[in-house]
Structure 1
Amino acid sequence: MEKQENLNIAGRQYNPSDYDRSTFLASALATTHEQVRDAYVEGTVDGVMDDVSGKDIPLSRQNSE
């Protein structure tokens, strides 16, 4: 792989059309974007995050009372 090609790959960012592309890089970016988005929105609707031990963790003092 040439240096310029490496720089192009390193500078590549997610694009919504990556979900429709069949290249490895586009697929990897789409998957990573989905994982980050899921992690970001986890618990934001009800203000509670799921704990690995099964107990919910309130995000604010108001929700814990």
Structure 2
Amino acid sequence: MEKKQNQPDTTKLADRYFETDDYQRDDELSAGLAKTHEQVTDDYYEGTIEGKMERDNGETIDIPREGFEGVTKKDTE
């Protein structure tokens, strides 16, 4: 199969990882890495759809489905 002549060299892209400086850089690759990093971080901190919390001791509890008034002190410790 013949390689297209106008195709850019993408091997440089594959060697690149997110760096905190990507938030300040103006190039397209840095902007994409910064945006992807932010999305992954948001998903990580948001948790899973099951609505579970894991305590420090490893115990898993359901996140209460009531408003704030339904949360007891024990649930937040």
The superposition leaves residues 11-63 of structure 1 with CA deviations (integer Å, 9 ceiling, x where unpaired) of: 110000000001110000000000001111114xxxxx5x5xxxx72332376
TM (norm. structure 1) is 0.63
Unaligned runs of 5+ in 1: 44-48
| Structure of higher RCO (CA pairs closer than 8 Å, 6+ residues apart) | 1
For residues 29 and 61 of structure 1, do their structure 2 counterparts lie closer, same or farther at Cα, with a shift above 3 Å needed? Answer: same
Name the structure 2 match of 1:36.
40
Show the counterpart of 1:61.
61
- Match of 1:61, SS state, is strand
1:63 and 1:24 map into 2 onto residues whose CA distance is 39
User: CA separation in 1, counterparts of 2:41 and 2:31?
Assistant: 15
Structure 1 stretches of 4+ moved >4 Å: 62-65
For structure 2, the 5+ residue unaligned runs are 1-7, 54-59, 65-74
Aligned pairs, how many? 52
TM-score where L is the length of structure 2: 0.54
Superposition map of 1:1-65 within 5 A: 1-2=8-9, 6-43=10-47, 51=49, 57-59=51-53, 60-61=60-61
What is the root-mean-square deviation of aligned Cα atoms in Å? 2.6
* Identity among equivalent pairs (%): 33
Name the larger-Rg structure.
2
